[in-house]
Amino acid sequence: MAVMAVKTIAGQAPPAVDEEAVASALGTALRTLRKAQGLTLRQLADRCGLSQPFLSQLENGKAMPSLIALHNVAQALGATAHGLLQPQRKPQVSLIRRGEGEVYELTEGATTRFLTRGRSQLIDPSEVNFEPGVRTENAGHAGEEMLFVLEGRLQVDLEGFGSVELTPGDIYLYPATVPHVMSTNEHQTCRVLIITSPPSF
Residue span(s) of the chain under CATH 1.10.260.40 come to 19-85
User: Which of 90, 79, 47, 85 is closest to 65 using CA atoms?
Assistant: 85
Whole-number pLDDT of residue 89 = 54
Question: pTM of the prediction?
Answer: 0.64
| Mean pLDDT of the 20-25 span | 82
Whole-number pLDDT of residue 6 = 38
* Strands of 135-138's sheet in order across: 135-138, 180-183, 154-158, 162-166
Q: What is the pLDDT of residues 101-157, one digit of tens each?
A: 888 888 889 999 989 877 677 888 999 999 999 999 888 888 899 999 999 999 999
Residue span(s) of the chain under CATH 2.60.120.10 come to 120-197
What architecture does CATH give domain 120-197?
A: Sandwich (2.60)
Q: In the predicted model, is pLDDT for residue 163 greater than 60? A: yes
Q: What is the pLDDT of residues 46-65, one digit of tens each?
A: 988 889 999 999 888 888 88
Q: In the predicted model, is pLDDT for residue 4 greater than 60? A: no
Is the Cβ–Cβ distance between 154 and 188 less than 8 Å?
no
Write down the CATH superfamily of domain 19-85. Answer: lambda repressor-like DNA-binding domains (1.10.260.40)
- What separation in angstroms does the CA of 126 have from each of 70, 93, 145, 178? 16, 16, 11, 20
